[in-house]
A and B are shown apart, each in its own frame.
Chain A
Amino acid sequence: MDTQKINRFDRRSFLRSTALASGAVGLATLTGGSLQVAFGSSGINKNVFVYIFMRGGPDWLSFITPMDGHPSRGDYEALRINGTQIPNNRLLALADGWGINDFGGAFQGLFQDGDLAVVQAAGLPIANRSHFEAERFVELGTPGNRFTSSGWLARHMQTAINLPGSVPILGMAAESSITFSLLGEPSALSLGNPASFELEGGSDIREDELQAVLTDIYAQGDSEIEVAGSQALEAVSIVQDVFDGEYVPSNGAQYPDSDLGDELLSIARLIKADSGVRVAQADRGGWDTHNGQGPLQAGGYGGRVQDIADSVAAFLTDLDVPTGDGGSWKDRTSVLMMGEFGRRAFDNNDAGTDHGYAGNILVAGGASVNGGVYGTFPGLADGDLFQGNDVLATTDYRNVFSEMLLKHLGNPEIGTMLPDFNDSSPLGGYNPLGIFNGEDIQPNLGPQDVIAKNGFE
């Protein structure tokens, strides 16, 4: 390792190099890998994962809907009688009788290009209809426990040994404070508004000189606050550099004028600046539609479908440019979209839908994603519904997470990132659906603390 290049994000290179030196347990599971490879350039994983959390719990049956000819179309029409039914001619065909809400035309385009995967009937292993609990169960990666003190992506960053030792920004949320999936990883950047990501006061307070001396002082120590402060100051200078000046998206990509569009644009700028971003989260809320859902209204649910479809399509278009070392950023990137739960199969008297159980997970991306429809749809007939109300979950969301972590990010430590996900889980254990392109490494399902096990300290 080139010690000259170590910056304030030393800790991770320190941890990783220590892990490599003593972490035979973790590495033994890396098929085809070796201690040497993990340090060489070919052992560094360069893929990017973007997680869009659809806060509020979308009515997925208004997003991806059975069309005429789908075995569930009749049941769907019988269940949707209060203003949320989407007529066949407002759906754009995907495959297997499914159509997408025609506000999501951009997604039909991605699907036809093989860049969009649709997972059917995905959800928590045990239904939970509380936003508060279900969001935490998903983002913390520990269904049944909402008090876990770190998120699943934070634990990925802490256990991965195939990340570069020394980069400015590995993980980020394009939000004003850290999201639950990244909770507990102090290096994770929360970047709600790049324009205000700096100290304030200008020359009235000698801001530049102040920042320089603070950077110097915080770099001296290794207590938590000094590490966190160093990372904050380092991030300020990186963000100021990356966001300096005008930005023209590549390939004529047109981001919608929306929060999500802005957030994905910020993430794209950081990715293309090669700032090291591997994991990023953006939120798109507004899906908690108990009344006046408006599935085909630009000012309602339809507008949100369009926003997310257009934003993600623009993001991938913008990323379709060469990286510095071969391939395109688009081919290295996957975007996973989901909410905390789906909604009731039937609509309520207020032209809305109440909290339910399973929904879809969407995954978009270039060569790293295999487009198509995945999973098993249990149907909408009376006997098919969970508790007579909701779409039944057939795929544990952790199964999709696991495949992404293993094949896309190359991290085998499933037992730490998604503890207790195994064959005795209610919906079964890891069973790759084939959504992600990449080597299917062997998961390590045991709780891991490689260094502690090896007597580090």
Chain B
Amino acid sequence: MNGLSRRHFLATSGVMAGTLASDPLHAQLGIRMDQKLFPAPPVNRGVTGELPPFAVRVLSKAAYGPTRGDVEAFDGLPGGSDFARLQAWVEEQLNPTAIDTEVDTRFAAAGTEFRTILASDFELWTQYVRSDEGSVRTRPFSELDRLTYLRGAYSRWQFREVISDFWNNHLHVYSRTNNETQGFMPSYERALRGDAAGNGLFGNFFDLLLGSARNAAMLYYLDNYRNSWPNPNENYAREVLELHTLGALENYYGAVDPATVPDNAFGQRAGYTEIDVFQFARALTGWGVADGDDGAPDTGAFLFRPDRHYDEHGSEPIQVMGVTINADGGENDVLQILQHLAEHFGTARFIAGKLCRRLVGDNPPESLVQSAAMEFYNRRNDSDQLREVYRHILLSAEFQNTWADKSRRPLETMLRMWRAAAIDFTPTVDNADGSRNRIASDINNRLEAAGQRPWNIEVPTGYPDFKAYWQGTGTLVASWRLVTYLLSRRDTNGDNFVLNIAQQVNILLPNANDRTPLQIGNTLTLAALGFLPDPTTMSKIVLFIAEQAGITLNEPIDNGTGIDSSDLGNSNYQKIMRGSMALIVLLPVGQRR
């Protein structure tokens, strides 16, 4: 009988305690604030099923999973304990350089395939955004999709890629909003990463927020480019408060007088109201893009237009969350407010909580959220604020001790499979001969069906980060379909596989007599997962191979009917090896993180 308890079930799927009760909007509905509607779910840090080795756990949570040699490399790090090795790994990962050999090599080999990634903002705007041809206008975001897969699959700076995905979602832009966003996405992504080493992602949150605010992609996505006095557009102002900084869940007080909002423990006004949204929108008037409108140049650069900016400070100062602006400071009106929001403790808590949910589990312990928030807050003026927050979380006992409180989302499933199976394929928009790259666009279509193509969710929340959303039947099937699709793919030339697993096995087991179901099962599993799961599971893998080949466990596979293990084409041997690899990467143990 199934042992999943009802309580556990509700905890993972039901209404979460506290969310109803703590929402200030509930006050409007006359809903009690003092009573929790549902019993608190237990903090789910449960180790469900088998516990993989420490290195695998770390690489599954702070990276897209181990690829060949990663587990051995982790275990070979200096220090005599798991914690010492974790420290060494974290230290390296928190200080990425601009050199990323495998990615750089593939990127260089792809040549002009990635022509928009390195294009300047001016080139992106004038040659792509403003192009008359649809396929030219969409090229930049299509390339960015491929670059995301390339980096996720091959970067040695795995944590940078994981955290880059976090910020891409936190400061999300829906790439297909309009011509301006789709053509300008590489610029936006660059604005968040800061430089080739990704220092923006490890720097100060205010800079990240400002980089996002001033980029044409964000200005167009959330309508701030046309925010003008006297009829402000509130869209961006609301989302900055609701999603980018304070968060609505704990800090939105609804349509009340701001003077009635209490102060937090740091003497800051605790949250924001409808009036703060409106006032902030006022401060943001005049922000826009040099988009050719109203006599401006058409370059895509940030442009402040004083004639569209609020100018009645004298009679009615701008007031946002206790910040008062008495004189027209032009575009600087916004900077004071953004600075205040970035340095607000509510922002620290909101973002620290999200980081903990990303890196630790769906239900991070309050103690960790609080201490990470304090780190975020105390380092608010430091140039490496975010690096220190990441370090705090990654070295916490909670990070080390939590396993399986998250499941992999479709993009993570694909990248993890890519690394585990050591796929050798550079995804590009076109093939070398200029024909469309069908495999890469098939990946996009399948990720879209699974619900997680990068930059492809319309709402400004970015992709949800809790497992209930991703464990739906359709999502799982679509994710697995992506895996079996990639593992079975042959390129357009015929027999040259994206992934030649038969060849991989033969390199691992050069002597044909060693290619028995038992040895193949163990060797391939160890290579792909970095460890061997429980004996029951292992026996199923080995039996699968034996049954497919029609032989016993210790017999060379060449004894099977119609099997020639020297045939590395689309042979029976190859098909069995592909099926085995699919089985290994789709095991339940690999779906957890």
Contacts and interface: CB of A to CB of B under 8 A. Distances in A.
A273 interface: no
Contacts of B469: 178, 183
A190 interface: yes
Nearest to B576: A206
A225 interface: yes
B298 to A, nearest CB: 26
Nearest to A227: B4
A447 B23 contact: no
A31 interface: no
Nearest to B481: A200
B2 A10 contact: yes
Interface stretch (B8-16, B83-91, B554-562): B8-16
A352 interface: no
Interface string A172-193: 0101111000111111111111
B322 interface: no
Interface in B527-559: 536-537, 540, 543-544, 547-548
Interface string B1-25: 1111111011011111001100101
Contact of B13 (A158, A192, A220, A226): A158
Interface in B556-593: 570, 575-576, 578-579, 582-583, 586-588, 591-592
Given A178-B474, A451-B7, A199 B480 contact: yes
A197 B588 contact: no
Most buried by A among B469, B471, B481: B471
A190 to B, nearest CB: 3
Contacts of A173: 474
Contact of B475 (A18, A132, A148, A177): A177
Contacts of A18: 6
A176 B451 contact: yes
B48 interface: yes
Q: Give the most central of A198, A213, A451: most B CB within 10 Å.
A: A213
Given A126-B29, A217-B537, A223 B588 contact: yes
B477 A192 contact: no
Contact of B540 (A150, A177, A197, A213): A213
Contact of B477 (A144, A236, A420): A236
Contacts of B435: none
Contacts of B13: 149-150, 154, 158, 184-186
Contacts of B503: none
Contact of B591 (A158, A201, A225, A419): A225
Contact of A201 (B4, B582, B587): B582
B476 A145 contact: no
A217 B579 contact: no
A449 B39 contact: yes
Contact of A147 (B19, B30, B472): B19
B477 A232 contact: yes
Given A217-B537, A217-B540, A457 B5 contact: yes
B105 interface: no
B471 A224 contact: yes
A207 B13 CA distance: 31
A201 B537 CA distance: 23
Contacts of B190: none
Interface stretch (B69-77, B133-141, B371-379, B484-492): B484-492
Given A14-B1, A192-B449, A209-B544, 15 more contacts: A15-B9, A144-B29, A186-B468, A193-B449, A200-B488, A205-B582, A210-B579, A213-B583, A224-B467, A227-B2, A416-B15, A425-B29, A426-B30, A449-B6, A451-B6
Sorted from nearest, which 7 A-B pairs have the closest CB atoms? A190-B474, A201-B488, A223-B48, A206-B579, A178-B472, A184-B13, A205-B488
Interface of B: 1-7, 9-10, 12-16, 19-20, 23, 25-26, 28-31, 37-39, 48-49, 248-249, 404, 407, 449-451, 459, 466-469, 471-478, 480-481, 484-485, 487-488, 490, 536-537, 540, 543-544, 547-548, 570, 575-576, 578-579, 582-583, 586-588, 591-592
25 contacts: A10-B1, A15-B9, A175-B474, A184-B14, A196-B478, A199-B481, A199-B484, A200-B481, A201-B485, A201-B487, A201-B582, A205-B575, A205-B578, A209-B579, A213-B543, A217-B587, A218-B588, A222-B2, A224-B407, A229-B591, A416-B15, A420-B26, A420-B31, A425-B29, A452-B10
